[in-house]
């Protein structure tokens, strides 16, 4: 799809805003999903006049990570471009990633009696995580011929780069995560699926051993889980693919990393959703595509907190009015995947979306929710089709063929 769209691009002065409420989709609790339960007058009003539907981030029945979910929203097929979270986290934290590097996203975790009792170390404060990462870096700088480079992230997250002296084969990152994905289980043994990967595994295992020794006296964050081994990929840039000058506005490093990977401007932004919107308004005249990411909807779902996820959706809706008042030619509101609070994890369920523009049928949905969006004019489609739809509604696609 992307290579077809690339040849149809035409420029104009239109603005496109993509608002992503991370983990938006849900499942019913007492008959209602979190989105159905939330009081969302602004999104409901938009849905009544917008083109609505549900999108599938990867394929039916496949649960997406945040990387594939966002990659699909940007129009890159996640089945063709599989990118590890390590690269995204590292880029988002401002780390330089080169051809000799393997990047890994890390969690501080709580380890007791041979099992992981908390995969996120009770979401330790970002300040504490920063101090622990500094301590690890001070004690672990090199393993054999591999340089070890660390950077702190948000809350329990940080990133590590294993920098080797020579360029790596693409399969050097073909390594499973050590994160068991559930509490009450031991960390998984790292296994590489190639000779190059086994060399990386050797370094990573030594790193885990050294990190555990440094952290052994910590009450909560006394262990490290490794996730998303990855090497830097080659992707067509966002501007080459769509002719758009894009700004990414995201508080969390991984999402900035993904935006940088496709060539968006992704400044280091911290603060609240209101701070993100203020940044959008300040720079609205300088770009023609805006990706605005709202994280805490997903975090609440992962914590299994139905009421908090509902409140975070309501908070986003209240702030949304400021974006609506900018009057972009195209406004897309959706999520990157579903995170039902009853599952406490990402899921395979379709994600609601709306596309507000002057050129839609509309008047098919009475509210913005999973069940209402199913009534919309766009039905159920793969996520990679959202970018072409946004471009078409912005008048940025020429006719295909004679």
Predicted pLDDT of residue 24 = 97
Considering the chain, what is the average pLDDT of its residues? 94
Is the pLDDT at 261 greater than 90, yes or no? no
Predicted pLDDT of residue 171 = 86
Is the pLDDT at 252 greater than 90, yes or no? no
- Span 301-321, average pLDDT: 96
- Span 363-379, average pLDDT: 97
- Span 384-398, average pLDDT: 97
Taking only the tens place, the pLDDT of each residue in 164-193 is 998 877 788 889 999 999 999 999 999 998
Is the pLDDT at 82 greater than 80, yes or no? no
Taking only the tens place, the pLDDT of each residue in 216-234 is 999 999 999 999 999 888 7
Tell me the domain boundaries of the chain: 2-81+235-393, 87-230
- Span 269-295, average pLDDT: 96
Is the pLDDT at 138 greater than 90, yes or no? yes
Taking only the tens place, the pLDDT of each residue in 45-57 is 999 999 999 999 9
Predicted pLDDT of residue 170 = 73
Out of 260-264, 291-295, 351-355, pick the least confident. Answer: 260-264
Predicted pLDDT of residue 98 = 82
Q: What percent of the chain has pLDDT over 90?
A: 82
Q: Alpha-carbon distance 330 to 355, whole Å?
A: 7
Predicted pLDDT of residue 168 = 78
Is the pLDDT at 338 greater than 90, yes or no? yes
Q: Alpha-carbon distance 50 to 333, whole Å?
A: 10
Predicted pLDDT of residue 195 = 86
Is the pLDDT at 85 greater than 90, yes or no? no
Is the pLDDT at 143 greater than 80, yes or no? yes
Is the pLDDT at 402 greater than 80, yes or no? no
Is the pLDDT at 250 greater than 90, yes or no? yes
Taking only the tens place, the pLDDT of each residue in 88-130 is 888 878 888 888 999 999 999 999 999 999 999 989 999 999 9
Out of 8-22, 129-143, 254-268, pick the least confident. Answer: 254-268
- Per the model's pLDDT, the better-predicted residue between 398 and 195 turns out to be 398
Class of CATH domain 2-81+235-393: alpha beta
Predicted pLDDT of residue 140 = 96
Predicted pLDDT of residue 232 = 82
Q: Alpha-carbon distance 348 to 365, whole Å?
A: 23
Is the pLDDT at 58 greater than 80, yes or no? yes
pTM, entire model = 0.78
């Amino acid at each position: 799809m992307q290579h077809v769209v690339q040849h149809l691009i035409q420029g104009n002065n239109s603005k496109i805003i993509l608002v992503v409420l991370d983990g938006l989709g849900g499942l019913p609790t007492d008959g209602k999903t979190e989105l159905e339960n939330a009081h969302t007058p602004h999104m409901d009003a938009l849905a009544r006049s917008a083109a609505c539907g549900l999108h599938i981030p990867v394929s039916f029945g496949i649960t997406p990570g945040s990387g594939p979910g966002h990659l699909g929203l940007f129009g890159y097929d996640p089945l063709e471009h599989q990118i590890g979270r390590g690269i995204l986290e590292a880029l988002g934290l401002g780390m330089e990633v080169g051809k000799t590097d393997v990047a890994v996203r890390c969690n501080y975790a709580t380890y007791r009696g041979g099992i992981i009792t908390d995969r996120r170390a009770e979401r330790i404060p970002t300040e504490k995580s920063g101090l622990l990462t500094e301590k690890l870096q001070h004690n672990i700088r090199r393993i054999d011929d591999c340089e070890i480079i660390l950077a702190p992230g948000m809350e329990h997250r940080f990133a590590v780069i294993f920098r080797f002296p020579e360029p790596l084969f693409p399969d050097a990152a073909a390594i499973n995560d050590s994160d068991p994905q559930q509490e009450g289980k031991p960390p998984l043994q790292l296994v590489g699926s190639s000779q190059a990967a086994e060399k990386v595994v050797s370094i990573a295992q030594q790193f885990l051993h050294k990190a555990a020794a440094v952290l052994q006296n910590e009450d909560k964050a006394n262990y490290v889980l490794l996730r998303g081994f990855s090497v830097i990929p080659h992707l067509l840039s966002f501007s080459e693919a769509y002719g758009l000058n894009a700004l990414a506005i995201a508080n969390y490093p991984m999402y900035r990393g993904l935006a940088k990977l496709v060539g968006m401007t992704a400044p280091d932004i911290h603060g609240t959703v209101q701070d993100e919107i203020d940044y959008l308004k300040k720079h609205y005249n300088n770009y023609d595509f805006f990706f605005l990411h709202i994280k805490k909807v997903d975090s609440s779902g992962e914590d299994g907190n139905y009421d908090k996820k509902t409140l975070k959706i309501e908070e986003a809706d209240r702030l949304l009015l400021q974006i609506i008042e900018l009057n972009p030619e195209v406004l897309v509101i959706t999520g990157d995947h579903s995170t039902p609070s009853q599952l406490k994890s990402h899921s395979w369920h379709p994600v609601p979306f709306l596309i507000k523009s002057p050129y839609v049928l509309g008047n098919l949905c009475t509210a913005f929710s999973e069940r209402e969006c199913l009534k919309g004019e766009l039905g159920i489609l793969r996520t990679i089709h959202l970018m072409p739809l946004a471009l078409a509604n912005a008048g940025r696609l020429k006719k295909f063929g004679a």
